A and B are shown apart, each in its own frame.
Chain A
């Protein structure tokens, strides 16, 4: 069974601070995909990144970076120099590369990030 745990529920930082959002996952499959989605106050879900289980390289995109470690089943997300516009709920999600129901995204409960000016 797939499971995604986001132990942090709410994080509050002051603008320009760095913040790391944690994600731990469980799966029996050897081939899987990990995702981060952002849900701003307007409610839509915005795709941020996808990682497949064979690619453990860290990725940086502007102020965002992701650290994927299979050894600890973690896929953490860091925002450098946070901005007020980063305030949102962030979801980590897992998908197994199988046809059928396991192609669904299994979501964590989300982390509410508040960035104060």
Chain B
């Protein structure tokens, strides 16, 4: 099993550009999450999904959008990149609330 995979690993964007961060899990998990990690900080929740077709905002959703058309995939879209979105982005999944969340390797995004 690959677990949780994320692409790309690194990306540099110019201000105002758009991009999609991909996340795929092969564990048939219902719950999926997007977090961002800023230097010296813990992770903060951007969006989450409790199943295909169901998504909701987390703590820091502004500037991002998500969709969940399948159980496996949970892409995160940045529409108009801003320097404040420079961060490391982690996707995670779990079977249900409570069990440990499995994290992808992260995407390091720089917006200049």
Q: Which residues of A contact B (CB under 8 A)?
A: 4, 9, 33, 35, 37, 43-45, 47, 50, 52, 91, 93, 95-110
Please tell me if B105 contacts chain A, counting CB pairs below 8 Å.
yes
**Of the candidates B42, B45, B97, which one forms a contact with A96 in the assembled complex, judged by CB atoms under 8 Å apart?**
B97
Q: Are A95 and B98 in contact (CB under 8 A)?
A: yes
Q: How large is the interface on B (under 10, 10 to 19, 20 to 34, 35 or more residues)?
A: 20 to 34
Interface of B is mostly: strand
> Of all chain A residues, which has the CB nearest B101?
A105
**Of the candidates B56, B98, B103, which one forms a contact with A100 in the assembled complex, judged by CB atoms under 8 Å apart?**
B56
Say yes or no: A47-B100 contact (C-beta < 8 A), given A100-B50, A100-B56, A104-B58.
Answer: yes
Q: Are A101 and B90 in contact (CB under 8 A)?
A: no
Q: Which of A47, A93, A100, A104 has the most CB of B within 10 A?
A: A104
Please tell me if B111 contacts chain A, counting CB pairs below 8 Å.
no
Q: Which chain B residues (59-112) contact chain A, with CB distance < 8 Å?
A: 59, 88, 90, 92, 94, 96-103, 105-106, 108
